[in-house]
Structure formats: C-alpha cells, structure tokens
C-alpha cells in the first residue's frame, strides 16, 4: 500500500467512517483512500486541503 506521506497520520489514526464524516466524502471513497486506490490528487481541491489540514492537526 502506497500511502501519500502528507496524509499518513489521518489514515493511521482514523477509521474510514471517521474520515468520510470529517471530509464529507463517501465511505467507499474513504476506504479507497486508505487502501491507496484513491489518490489525494483525485479529490477536489477543498477536500484535499481539508484532509491535509486535519492530518496536520492530528500530528500536533
């Protein structure tokens, strides 16, 4: 599994359901994100930014 290092904390600490709720994406998309089947670049800009911000807050 090739996880983007920019979002590794969120993937390690949150469940797919929590990610889907936090980012307002489908559970399938959250699961695909964790599995590496959905890349950060494939998300819309606002969702990508929110994901990175949340990941940074989890690392603080």
* Predicted model pTM: 0.81
Q: Which of 48, 50, 53, 14 is nearest to 34 (CA)?
A: 14
Alpha-carbon span 21 to 25, nearest angstrom? 7
Question: pLDDT band at residue 17, thresholds of 50, 70 and 90?
Answer: very high
Confidence of residue 1 (pLDDT cuts 50, 70, 90): very low
CA distance 16 to 36: 12
Q: Among candidates 7, 10, 16, 13, which has minimal Cα distance to 39?
A: 7
């Amino acid at each position: 599994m090739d996880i983007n290092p920019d979002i590794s904390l969120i993937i390690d600490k949150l469940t797919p359901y929590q990610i889907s709720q936090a980012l307002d994406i489908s559970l399938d998309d959250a699961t695909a994100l964790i599995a590496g089947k959905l890349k950060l670049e494939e998300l819309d800009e606002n969702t990508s930014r929110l994901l990175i911000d949340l990941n940074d807050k989890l690392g603080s």
